[in-house]
Amino acid sequence: MPKSTAPMTLRESLAFLDWVYNPFQSRDVIRVYDLLSTRTPSARGLWLNLGYWRDANTLDDACEAMAALLAERAGMGPADRVLDVGFGFADQDIYWTKHYQPQSIVGLNITASQVAAARTRVADLGLADRIDLREGSATAMPIPDASVDIVTALECAFHFNTREAFFAEALRVLRPGGRLVVADILPMPVEQCWVGRQQQRLSWWAVAAKFPIPEANRYTRAEYGPRLAAQGFTDTQVESIRADVYAPLHRHLAADPSVTQRLHPLARPPLQLALMVSAETIYRGLDYVLASARKPG
């Protein structure tokens, strides 16, 4: 399915205005992503992640690099049965199938509109026999016990109600020795400086209010590993990669206005205003981690 270029209806535009500009609105995850539809900022695909920018020069390259980072951390290969939760429009699943050739990928996503669009894309590429996309929840997976080798969650686990319920389900569906790999957004550790703390709170609120994050998921990377371990995982690793995500993304958006132009016109003004502020301030309250763990056995 191609990127949407059709104008929004009046009803959609009013809903978009309310979502972007009303600080008191509250929308659930499905309604947010239904509203965004396929109006994504990437040029080639329908990528939704912020990208890993260590060696990337374009948004699409950075998004692919983030997917590759997860695959490499998981040790993904031809023998693996992969479960990808919150798959968006399945860009990472298509990428992994082409570059890492796992035995199979099952995707779970609660947003029916994304599932339908992603299925069409996968079928058009002739990959439907290798990528099975389903509507389903990451916290109540319709997946048998001990049936997959890898569970991935690329920039979505912060939405799950709760993240720890997802950890428990991931442990259940993984075979002994299976791997969990997550790219996730967290709040930063609280600063001592009063000004810094206020900037952190505003930065976190700006994200959590627009892209619903349950309060139960608001903890720092210091707690992430212990919470994985509490569910039964071992070999936990939690690494902050925020330096290779937020600041270079900010620089790229400021340098390449074509990315902003791919967004809906109503979304452009707040982004353009944000680009006038330093990345240090805008993202002060946001951490970004690559986390991995293994099921014992």
Q: What is the pLDDT of residue 16?
A: 82
Stronger pLDDT, 124 or 19, i.e. the higher one: 124
Average pLDDT value for the chain: 94
| CA quadruple 231, 237, 242, 245: dihedral, nearest 10 | -90
The strand pairing partners of 184, in sequence order, are 289
184 — pLDDT class (breaks 50, 70, 90):
very high
Tell me: the pLDDT tens digits for 204-215? 998 988 899 999
Q: Is the pLDDT of residue 228 over 90?
A: yes
Split at pLDDT 50, 70, 90, the class of 225 is very high
Query: Cα–Cα distance between 290 and 78 in angstroms, integer?
Result: 23
**Mean pLDDT, rounded, for 85-112:** 98
Q: Which residues are catalytic?
A: 155
Per-residue pLDDT band for 71 (boundaries 50, 70, 90) equals very high
pLDDT of residue 263: 85
Average pLDDT over residues 276-291: 96
The model's confidence at residue 4, banded by pLDDT at 50, 70 and 90, is low
Instruction: Determine the average pLDDT of the residues in 61-75.
Output: 98
pLDDT at 8 over 80: no
Percent of the chain scored above 90 by pLDDT? 80
Pick the CATH number of 10-294 from 3.40.50.150, 3.40.50.2000, 3.40.1260.10, 3.90.1640.10: 3.40.50.150
For residue 117, pLDDT over 70 is answered with yes
Q: What pLDDT shows up at residue 6?
A: 64
Question: Which H, E and C letters describe the chain, residue by residue?
Answer: CCCCCCCCCHHHHHHHHHHHHCCCCCCCHHHHHHHHCCCCCCCCCCCCCCCCCCCCCCHHHHHHHHHHHHHHHHCCCCCCEEEEECCCCCHHHHHHHHHCCCCEEEEEECCHHHHHHHHHHHHHCCCCCCEEEEECECCECCCCCCCEEEEEEECCHHHCCCHHHHHHHHHHHEEEEEEEEEEEEEECCCCCCHHHHHHHHHHHHHHHHHCCCCHHHCCCHHHHHHHHHHHCCEEEEEEECHHHCHHHHHHHHHHCHHHHHCCCHHHHHHHHHHCCCCHHHHCCCEEEEEEEEECCC
The answer, yes or no, to whether residue 132 has pLDDT greater than 90, is yes
What average pLDDT does this structure show over 102-121?
98
Answer yes or no: is pLDDT of 142 > 90: yes
